[in-house]
């Protein structure tokens, strides 16, 4: 179950790495798509739950966490090269924060609302993180990026 979930989820990460979206936009898109998978795909939801529980009951399963942090690092480095992420950002530290922040957000959302509020909580997560990541000369344009990505995804889904 964990392996099937990780394959499905990390495929999303690889799609973002090898796609044409700017790094920061790809990270936000990835988080929104993973949130959607958690709400709609029982394999993803179960695999995430089992991965988290493994650290409590047995030897922790660390591969999925490391893989997601590596994807985040690469996307953040792309964002720096593109000028969207502030130069000098410690991409390893930022990735090590963002991936666990998402994990915590979805875990608490599951506990409190059965993930009904997950979209709003992910938006709040980005509202808190983006001001620290975004290059100062791009803040005005990029602070609203999560809402624009969500709108574009909804429009694409309605056309499908």
Burial class from Cβ neighbours inside 10 Å (0-12, 13-18, 19+) for residue 103 reads: middle
pLDDT of residue 79: 98
Distance CA 6, CA 23 (A): 21
pTM: 0.84
Residue with tokens 């997601």: 68
* Domain limits, the chain: 2-159
The Cα angle at residue 55 between residues 54 and 56, in degrees rounded to 5: 90
Q: Looking at the predicted structure, is the pLDDT value of residue 7 above 90? A: no
Structure confidence at residue 18 as a pLDDT band (50, 70, 90):
very high
Residue with tokens 């990780």: 6
Residue with tokens 């979209």: 119
pLDDT of residue 20: 94
Which fold does the domain 2-159 belong to in CATH? Tetracycline Repressor; domain 2 (1.10.357)
Q: For the chain, report the end-to-end CA distance as a whole number of angstroms.
A: 29
Q: What is the pLDDT of residues 88-138, one digit of tens each?
A: 999 999 999 999 999 899 989 999 999 999 999 999 999 999 999 999 999
Q: What is the pLDDT of residues 21-74, one digit of tens each?
A: 999 999 999 999 989 888 887 666 555 665 555 566 566 666 777 888 999 999
pLDDT of residue 46: 58
pLDDT of residue 144: 92
Burial class from Cβ neighbours inside 10 Å (0-12, 13-18, 19+) for residue 146 reads: buried
Q: What is the pLDDT of residues 63-99, one digit of tens each?
A: 777 888 999 999 999 999 999 999 999 999 999 999 9
Q: Looking at the predicted structure, is the pLDDT value of residue 160 above 60? A: yes
């Amino acid at each position: 179950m964990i392996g099937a979930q990780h394959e499905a989820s990390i495929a999303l990460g690889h799609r973002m790495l090898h796609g044409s979206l700017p790094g920061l936009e790809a990270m936000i898109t990835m988080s929104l798509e993973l949130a959607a998978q958690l709400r709609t795909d029982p394999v993803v939801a179960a695999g995430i739950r089992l991965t988290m529980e493994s650290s409590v009951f047995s030897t922790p399963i660390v591969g999925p966490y490391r893989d997601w942090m590596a994807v985040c690092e690469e996307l953040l480095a792309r964002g720096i090269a593109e000028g969207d992420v502030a130069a000098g950002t410690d991409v390893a530290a930022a990735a090590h924060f963002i991936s666990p922040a998402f994990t915590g957000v979805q875990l608490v959302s599951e506990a409190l609302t059965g993930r009904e509020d997950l979209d709003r909580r992910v938006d709040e997560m980005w509202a808190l993180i983006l001001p620290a990541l975004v290059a100062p000369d791009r803040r005005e344009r990029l602070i609203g990026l999560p809402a624009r990505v969500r709108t574009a995804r909804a429009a694409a889904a309605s056309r499908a």
